[in-house]
Amino acid sequence: MFKRQKQRRELQDKGNTSKNASKNTSENVSKNADKNTSKITGNIDEDIKTIKAALCCSPDLVIRRLKPADSSDDTVVAYAVMYIEGLADRKVIENNVIKPLLKELSQEAKSSSDKAYTTRTSITEKIKNTIASVSNLNETDNFDECINEVLTGNTIFLTSKSKSALVFNTPGWKTRNPEEPISEPSVRGSRDGFVETLQENIVRIRRRVRDPGFAIKKLKVGRRTKTDVAVVYISNIANKDLVEEVVHRIEQINIDEMISAGTLEQFIEDNFLSLFPQIQYTERPDRVVAALMEGRTAIILDNTPFVLIVPATLPMFIQSPEDYYDRWIYSSVIRVLRYLVVLFSLFLPSVYIAYISFHQGLIPTKLAIFIASTREGVPLPSLIEALLMETTLEILREAGIRLPKTIGQAVGIVGGLVIGEAAVRAGIVSPVSVVVVALTAIASFSVPQYAIGIPIRLFRFVLMITAGILGLYGVMLAFIMITVHIVRLKSFGVNYMSPFVPYRPGDWKDFIFRLPVMMMKKRPEILKTEDQWRQGNSGKG
Amino acid sequence: MRKNKVRSKVTILVGLLITLAVFLSGCWDRREIEELSMVAGLAIDCEENTSTPYKEGSISNKEEQMEFDKEKQLQIIVTQQYIVPKAVSGGEKGGTSQKSPYANVSVDGNSIYEIMQKFENINSRTPNYEHLRVIIISDKAARYFNLYKLLNAILRHPETPRNIDMLVSERKACSILDIAPRSEDIPAFKLMMLVRKTKSKSGTPSVSTLGDMSKAMAAGKSFVIQRVGFRQDIGSEYDTVKISDSNYNNLANINKTSGMNFIYDSGTKGLASGMGDIIEAVGAAVIKGQTYNMTGWLNRSETDALNWITGKVEEGSVEFKESKSSETIVYDVDRVKTKIKPEILEGKISFTVDMKMEGTLVEDWLMTADAFKEEFIKDMEMNAEKEVRRILEKTLEKLQKELKTDVAGFGKQLSIKYPRYWNDIKDNWEEIFSDVPINLDLKVYIRDFGRQGSKK
Amino acid sequence: MHITDNPKDKISTVQAIVFISSLTVGAAIITLPRSAARSVNTPDVWASILFGGLIAIIPSIILVKLSQRFPGKTCFQFNRIITGKFLGWILSFLMIAYYTLLAGFEGRMMVELVRVYLLPRTPIEVALMAFLWAGTYLTVSGINPIARAFEFYFPIVIFIFFSVLFLGLQRFELDNLRPLFGQGFKPVLRGIMTTFLTYAGFETMMILTAFMKEPWKAVKVVVIGIGISIAFYVSLSVVVVGVLTVEEIKTLAWPTIALVNSIEYPGGFVENFQVFFLIVWIFAIYTTFVSSHYIACLGLGQISNKAFNSFVYALIPIIYIVALAPQNLEEVFQLGDYIGYFGVFMGGIVPVILLFIAIIRREGCAEKQGEK
């Protein structure tokens, strides 16, 4: 599937090995470069000092030293527990690490004769095996990792005279309760949306997919933010090349910060200059699960409730998971309506301008007379009028986003009704333009995914201008150019307009109409999945 | 490599944007809709050139036509009816507007296009012909001008639609455009609605749009155009009522001619001003194919007969007198199936019109009528058949002898069955046609009689 | 994408069919009734068109067989092999000239139609430029996006075209098509000389076969492709003649649009069908233009061993000049006729000769491609 990209990559890699070498050294930007790759010394005070120095300006780093109560002897082992306030779960640390350790230490003090376990080698073993009742436990021996772990919210446990540190996995920050996704409300589907924690999001998906083939590839992105990324797929459904390509593209990202999935999206897209989104993002787990089962890959970024789905095709943006929960005829009709709505919201203002300014003969006569009579006295030509109104609408839209919900609604009403009405009465615009613009706005709200609304809004303006210059001819040519652009786009090797173009009749069952679920036995051909059958024979159980 | 791709794309984009500036230099075709002056109807009249005297009589063949053209004794007058959108009710700036929603302007000249140019100098807005709905030609103009030449400018104009209704009027065409209609705002639209509504009714030819005319003229065929006239036209050769005085109080002086009842409209303030304002669209004007001008009229029943022969319109009512009691019986035609069968025997052409007509008995003035009885029906069928035959024969005679025009499509049927023969005679067809015997094989059926069958 | 020898991109069989049909169905949609009516002079126009198409299948099969002998090579490449470098170069150059002329002609037709029916006062240079850019955007993308774009437009064209024809039946009179063969078969034969020209487009198979994923299906492709164009043109002529009559068509410059204009439906949408039909002819002419432009550039690229991309922009001025060369509409139609004759020569005569030579000299592989 990605033959050409692989070849290109090999060429690139050969040419870039020298560049890579220099890249690695430039990555080490922090002041204590040499110190970070060094190993833990075993001298606990030194170690603590090193770590403290690395996290120089973080007063929220908590260091708890533990020593047997009665010793001032250097040979006695001391312990240090380090974590960052708020990131790590204090309760877990206190109850499961410090408490049993203190108990052990006091016992040690009582039976002071037995010095066997105060030797350095076995102490971490002992703590690992008998004392720390933390389920997730790792060991590390270099500072770099220690610091990363602390910053991730885990706890570092240093033992003097031990060259390795224990890492307890104790995430303890507060997460938002799952709420209904605001951008994609659902009528009949589930209402839990994704949250900002990576693991929680994975869990949300795992709850729905209990297949052992559910695979996760964990990566880190962002030199300074070191954000976790999980590439999720079903291992014997998804095409291996696809997964490889996704992972490779993410690994190629070379940037300091990765704050949201939106930025990630722009880095791994096939064509970031295009107005059309080539990656879908969603807040709904059911959409993600459906995509995974088709053979797509999901990318989850820590700290973003939006999950990316790859590869994405244009029809995907016009479909909604609700379509599968309702009856098939109703869903098919609604889908057809949505396609019409997309065309409508794209073309209505430009076609209006083309008719009014250029091809008056094409309007039915009575309507033409009526429009002419209402436009008497309006000072602006229809192109300027329509542009003006559309721009006003966009401004209102922006305003509506910024304002709190209650005021936002009032603004909508004020802007729409009052200003529109007043403008008509003042004779600045004609009532027909107001109607046209209002209809367009309503149509654009019916698009299920916000992502596709953006190219529509922008192209609407382009179409209006071409309509104002060359009438219907301009509209047609602009439409042709838009379709040519769409047809050229690929999203991770899949044509953007699949399954319409190139023709794959097998996939048309789910394209415009949504045929009954019983009939959709195979997975989409375009994804070249390993396991073709969804239903019936040779299925998985 | 990605950077290079981006760079080349950006350069192309910038280059494109610069050249796009060309487009900003002008939107050459932009005309806002309110800047247009929509012409809804045209009326073509002709008038004497005061310099040369007017020649009487109609032109019967090509040579005379050419002679006449050379002298160009008549000038064309075109009246355009513009729509004034502001005054059309229903707009938001509504209420009652004192202005009338249309305006008629007349200009004279020697060619249609020249006249159109003159119109552009008069009007403050650009005339737009895309909403042209009717063209009315006065019968004088239709008789003396070659219609193919007259309408050439209109046919060529890219704006004029092909489905304009063509009408021939008895009097001045511009007076037809001047009536103030009641239900429509604009006279031209009223005419259009009138014509279309009556299209498949009795007494009107089936189609006569500009496109159909063009088709017939291209083939050199004869055809008919819908007639339009005033209900109380004075002194016309058409079968209408003559009113000597249009004052309401003088209705008693109204003359009745054959079979037509007068009507008056009690809604009007009076038929006081001029001709009255009731327009009827009934009857047809016959246009000869070779010379492209009008040769005569067909009245209501003749047009019906024509429609029955061509089989295009299955309407029409036939009124006849019952043989014994001379009471009026009316038969309404519902379906007509006609086949024209040409025959050539020893070089002699003849036609048989095989017509089967089905209809309803809609009215009878006979007290003893009993439609439930079989014999009565049969009797009525025979009477109806007689009358239909009479009408058909009268019409065919008129077409053959008086007008010498084949508008019923006999020639076409001949060409289908005997194409080689047709090739030889097609140039003289109209002459030959006048002597060809036409036999009628007619069968009339009464299928229905409505809700009430008898009077007792 | 660099195409030096073999085209690396492949198109599927369905895409090839769509390509050929889209290429052949071009501006002739609007003009065919008139030119056919003029040469046939009887209502049997449809018969001429039908037979013209059927006859066109013969040379197309020949040239497919020729191309199949040289798998993966377009005619620009195997010309050289068969007839030697110099002659091959001349033949390829003639083909390139042919396609350039065709592209210019289509551009001019588009602009003429726009000028009459859409934008009377816009200078044709502007309309032409806009069209050329829209076309270039697609041409530059290469064969695969072109094939995909054609696949996108094709069903839309078919749907609207046949719906409009169907609606046109409202005014259809069977008598206008009679008498059937009233003047005998001679007028039909006369007409075939003209109608055959409209199918010029099948010679593209000499290039298209090289791009096909399954070149052994090329014969099927060309037969179905021409079959679709036959369906288009024959149904068009039947309806147009039936509604407008042969005599009327002879007088009209754009008969098909007159047909669309005569469609009336109650409810006031009297004029709007012209808008739908607008979509049809814009797409039809656009696809023909893009494919000819692309093949011309491809040819130049293959002759000179460079990427075809560089020639895309270079050819635009030439196409522009060709498009603006005819001084009036009659000259435009004449240009169309000359291109038609040229196409017959390049598509009918040359491949036969080439195949002959190839068989004699045993060039290329005669066995069929591995039919999997």
Of chain C, the end-to-end C-alpha distance in Å amounts to 29
Indicate whether B184 and B314 sit together in one domain: no
Q: Does the structure show a pLDDT above 80 at B39? A: yes
Q: Does the structure show a pLDDT above 70 at A435? A: yes
pLDDT-derived band of residue B69, with 50, 70 and 90 as boundaries? low
Cβ C119–A500 below 8 Å, yes or no?
no
pLDDT-derived band of residue A299, with 50, 70 and 90 as boundaries? very high
Residue numbers of the domain that contains B223: 33-231+278-285
Specify the DSSP class assigned to residue A70: T
Q: Does the structure show a pLDDT above 90 at B116? A: no
Which bin fits A127, alpha (ψ -120 to 50), beta or left (φ > 0)?
Answer: alpha
Instruction: List alpha helices for A328-430, DSSP H.
Output: 328-357, 365-375, 382-402, 405-413, 420-426
Residue with tokens 């791709």: B5
What distance in Å separates the CA atoms of residue C339 and residue B432, rounded to the nearest whole number? 47
φ, ψ dihedrals at B235, nearest 5°: 60, 55
**Which of helix, strand or coil describes residue B37?**
strand
Q: Is B416 on the interface with C (CB under 8 A)?
A: yes
Predicted confidence (pLDDT) per residue in B381-394, tens digit: 888 888 888 888 88
The C-alpha R_g of chain B, in whole angstroms, comes to 27
Q: Is A477 on the interface with C (CB under 8 A)?
A: yes
Neighbours of chain B (3+ CB pairs under 8 A): A, C
On whether residue C331 sits in a domain, the answer given is yes
Q: Does the structure show a pLDDT above 50 at B402? A: yes
CATH code at C327?
1.20.1740.10
Residue with tokens 């969804």: A534
Q: Between these two residues, C311 and B179, which has the higher pLDDT value? A: C311
The rounded mean pLDDT for chain A is 81
User: Can you give the pLDDT at residue A347?
Assistant: 93
Which whole number is the average pLDDT over B261-287? 53
Which whole number is the average pLDDT over B195-205? 70
- Determine contact, residues B215/C245, Cβ cutoff 8 Å: yes
What is the length of chain C? 372
User: Can you give the pLDDT at residue A295?
Assistant: 87
Of B1, B90, B131, the CB nearest to A365: B131
Q: Could you give the C-alpha distances from A119 to A64, A68, A159, A165, A235, in angstroms and in order?
A: 21, 14, 11, 15, 46
* Interface test mutation site (partner B, options A269, A369, A384, max chain B beta carbons within 10 A): A369
Q: Is C178 on the interface with B (CB under 8 A)?
A: yes
What distance in Å separates the CA atoms of residue C144 and residue A215, rounded to the nearest whole number? 34
On whether residue C10 sits in a domain, the answer given is no
* Interface test mutation site (partner A, options B3, B10, B33, B159, max chain A beta carbons within 10 A): B33
| B156, closest residue in chain C (CA to CA) | C252
What distance in Å separates the CA atoms of residue B115 and residue C285, rounded to the nearest whole number? 38
On whether residue C367 sits in a domain, the answer given is no
Predicted confidence (pLDDT) per residue in A104-136, tens digit: 777 766 665 445 445 545 666 777 777 777 888
Q: Does the structure show a pLDDT above 90 at C100? A: yes
Of C127, C153, C272, the CB nearest to A473: C127
A457: its two tokens:
């809004």
CA distance A385 to chain C (A): 21
User: Can you give the pLDDT at residue B96?
Assistant: 45
Beta strands in C17-168 (DSSP E): none
Q: Is B152 on the interface with C (CB under 8 A)?
A: no
CB atoms closer than 10 angstroms to residue A260: 15
φ, ψ dihedrals at B337, nearest 5°: -120, 115
Which whole number is the average pLDDT over A169-183? 83
User: Can you give the pLDDT at residue C278?
Assistant: 85
User: Can you give the pLDDT at residue A238?
Assistant: 86
Of A358, A361, A483, the CB nearest to C119: A358
CATH code at B440?
3.30.300.210
**Least confident interval from A21-35, A39-53, C39-53, C200-214:** A21-35
Domain total in chain B: 2
On whether residue C232 sits in a domain, the answer given is yes
User: Can you give the pLDDT at residue B412?
Assistant: 84
**Least confident interval from A454-463, B47-56, B132-141, B356-365:** B47-56
Question: Looking at this protein, which amino acid is placed at residue B139?
Answer: D
Indicate whether B186 and B326 sit together in one domain: no
- In this structure, the strands spanning B165-169 and B134-138 are parallel
CB atoms closer than 10 angstroms to residue A271: 16
Q: Does the structure show a pLDDT above 70 at C365? A: no
Predicted confidence (pLDDT) per residue in B141-197, tens digit: 888 888 888 888 888 888 888 888 888 888 778 778 777 666 667 788 878 877 777
Highest mean pLDDT among B284-298, C201-215, C275-289: C275-289
Q: Is C251 on the interface with B (CB under 8 A)?
A: yes
Nearest residue to A193 (alpha-carbon basis) of A210, A206, A181: A181
Indicate whether B317 and B194 sit together in one domain: no
Domain total in chain C: 1
Residues 6+ apart with CB under 8 A from A70: A109
User: Can you give the pLDDT at residue B224?
Assistant: 85
What distance in Å separates the CA atoms of residue B189 and residue C296, rounded to the nearest whole number? 54
Residues of chain B with pLDDT > 70, as a percent, come to 74
On whether residue B358 sits in a domain, the answer given is yes
Sort out which chain A residues have CB atoms less than 8 A from B86's CB and list them.
373, 376
Cβ C122–B412 below 8 Å, yes or no?
no
pLDDT-derived band of residue C149, with 50, 70 and 90 as boundaries? very high
Residues of chain A with pLDDT > 70, as a percent, come to 87
Which bin fits A130, alpha (ψ -120 to 50), beta or left (φ > 0)?
Answer: alpha
Residue with tokens 């048989």: B352
Q: Between these two residues, A230 and A407, which has the higher pLDDT value? A: A230
pLDDT-derived band of residue A461, with 50, 70 and 90 as boundaries? very high
Beta strands in A177-333 (DSSP E): 214-221, 227-234, 280-282, 297-301, 307-310
DSSP output for A451-464: HHHHHHHHHHHHHH
What distance in Å separates the CA atoms of residue B277 and residue B273, rounded to the nearest whole number? 9
- Determine contact, residues A51/A143, Cβ cutoff 8 Å: yes
pLDDT-derived band of residue A231, with 50, 70 and 90 as boundaries? very high
- Determine contact, residues A343/A447, Cβ cutoff 8 Å: no
Q: Is A382 on the interface with B (CB under 8 A)?
A: yes
Of C129, C251, C270, the CB nearest to B218: C251
Residue numbers of the domain that contains C343: 17-361
Which whole number is the average pLDDT over C77-100? 86
Q: Does the structure show a pLDDT above 90 at C231? A: yes
B430: its two tokens:
């109209």
pLDDT-derived band of residue A537, with 50, 70 and 90 as boundaries? low
**Least confident interval from A26-35, A408-417, B355-364, C59-68:** A26-35
- Determine contact, residues A244/A2, Cβ cutoff 8 Å: yes
Which whole number is the average pLDDT over A498-523? 77
On whether residue C107 sits in a domain, the answer given is yes
- In this structure, the strands spanning B36-48 and B126-128 are parallel
| B7, closest residue in chain A (CA to CA) | A273
A41, with CB counted inside 10 A (0-12, 13-18, 19+), is middle
CA distance C185 to chain A (A): 42
Q: Which helix (H) or strand (E) holds C68?
A: helix C45-68
Q: Between these two residues, A425 and B53, which has the higher pLDDT value? A: A425
Q: Does the structure show a pLDDT above 80 at A179? A: yes
What distance in Å separates the CA atoms of residue A171 and residue A199, rounded to the nearest whole number? 10
User: Can you give the pLDDT at residue A25?
Assistant: 38
CA distance B367 to chain A (A): 51
User: Can you give the pLDDT at residue C107?
Assistant: 93
On whether residue C217 sits in a domain, the answer given is yes
User: Can you give the pLDDT at residue C159?
Assistant: 92
Sort out which chain C residues have CB atoms less than 8 A from B422's CB and list them.
182
Cβ C121–B218 below 8 Å, yes or no?
no
pLDDT-derived band of residue B220, with 50, 70 and 90 as boundaries? confident
Which whole number is the average pLDDT over C6-21? 80
Q: Is A53 on the interface with C (CB under 8 A)?
A: no
CA angle C3, C9, C13 (to 5 degrees): 140
B181: its two tokens:
């209609």
User: Can you give the pLDDT at residue A226?
Assistant: 85
Q: Between these two residues, C118 and C184, which has the higher pLDDT value? A: C118
B208: its two tokens:
């006569």
The rounded mean pLDDT for chain B is 74
User: Can you give the pLDDT at residue C5?
Assistant: 33
User: Can you give the pLDDT at residue C289?
Assistant: 94
Predicted confidence (pLDDT) per residue in C47-73, tens digit: 889 998 898 888 888 888 888 888 888
User: Can you give the pLDDT at residue B122?
Assistant: 83
Q: Between these two residues, A2 and B375, which has the higher pLDDT value? A: B375
On whether residue C1 sits in a domain, the answer given is no
Specify the DSSP class assigned to residue A117: G
Q: Between these two residues, B184 and C220, which has the higher pLDDT value? A: C220
User: Can you give the pLDDT at residue B4?
Assistant: 62
| C120, closest residue in chain A (CA to CA) | A358
* Interface test mutation site (partner C, options A371, A501, A508, max chain C beta carbons within 10 A): A501
On whether residue B425 sits in a domain, the answer given is yes
Indicate whether B200 and B122 sit together in one domain: yes
User: Can you give the pLDDT at residue B23?
Assistant: 66
Sort out which chain A residues have CB atoms less than 8 A from B131's CB and list them.
360-361, 365, 368
φ, ψ dihedrals at B136, nearest 5°: -110, 130
